[in-house]
């Protein structure tokens, strides 16, 4: 049974053409994260939602936005993708309020920018 679902698994877009990646969860977790992972590198946190509170990392480009319309869904919007934005995008969830809780990752969306 899938717990953190990401759609699509593979996304191809053109340079400058907006794209939206989707994440949904069946765990009812408070916290949802978006990470960017480039080849052979560690995942880099872009931002996270703690319930409805949005927390942006200081070095996340303005080109990246996020929406969380409800507990289950979170979206990553890339307004004008550049070639450097090609990467794996990982969504993760966690129960908030307990620092020892595990983060559950989705399978990721591989973004290609042409």
Partner 1 sequence: KNQVEQSPQSLIILEGKNCTLQCNYTVSPFSNLRWYKQDTGRGPVSLTIMTFSENTKSNGRYTATLDADTKQSSLHITASQLSDSASYICVVSQGRGSTLGRLYFGRGTQLTVWP
Near partner 1 by CB under 8 A, which window of 12-20, 59-67, 74-82, 101-109? 101-109
Q: Least distance (Å) from partner 1 to the CB of residue 3?
A: 11
* Residue 76 engages partner 1 in binding (rule: CB under 8 A): no
How many CB atoms lie under 10 A from the CB of residue 98? 8
- Number of H-type helices and E-type strands within the chain: 0, 11
Task: Give the rounded distance of the alpha carbon of 47 from its chain centre.
Answer: 8
Pairing of strands 64-67, 53-56: unpaired
Measure the CA–CA gap between 5 and 11, rounded to whole angstroms: 15
C-beta of 71 vs 96, nearer to partner 1: 96
C-beta of 69 vs 100, nearer to partner 1: 100
Ranges within 22-61 binding partner 1 (CB under 8 A): 31, 40-43, 45, 50
Q: Least distance (Å) from partner 1 to the CB of residue 7?
A: 13
Name the β-bridge partners of 49: 32, 54
Angle at 70 between CA 57 and CA 98, to 5 degrees: 60
* Residue 19 engages partner 1 in binding (rule: CB under 8 A): no
The residues of the shown chain that bind partner 1, judged by CB under 8 A, are 4, 6, 31, 40-43, 45, 50, 88, 90, 92, 94, 96-100, 102-108, 110
């Amino acid at each position: 049974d899938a717990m953190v679902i990401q759609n699509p698994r593979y996304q191809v877009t053109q340079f400058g053409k907006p794209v939206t990646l989707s994440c949904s969860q069946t765990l009812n977790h408070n916290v949802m994260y978006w990470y960017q992972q480039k080849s052979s590198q560690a995942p880099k946190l872009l931002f996270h939602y703690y319930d409805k509170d949005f927390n942006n990392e200081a070095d996340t480009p303005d080109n990246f936005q996020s929406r969380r319309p409800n507990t289950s869904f979170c979206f990553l919007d890339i307004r004008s993708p550049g070639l450097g934005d090609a990467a794996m995008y990982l969504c993760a969830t966690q129960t908030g309020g307990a620092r020892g809780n595990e983060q559950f990752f989705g399978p990721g969306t591989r973004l290609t920018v042409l």
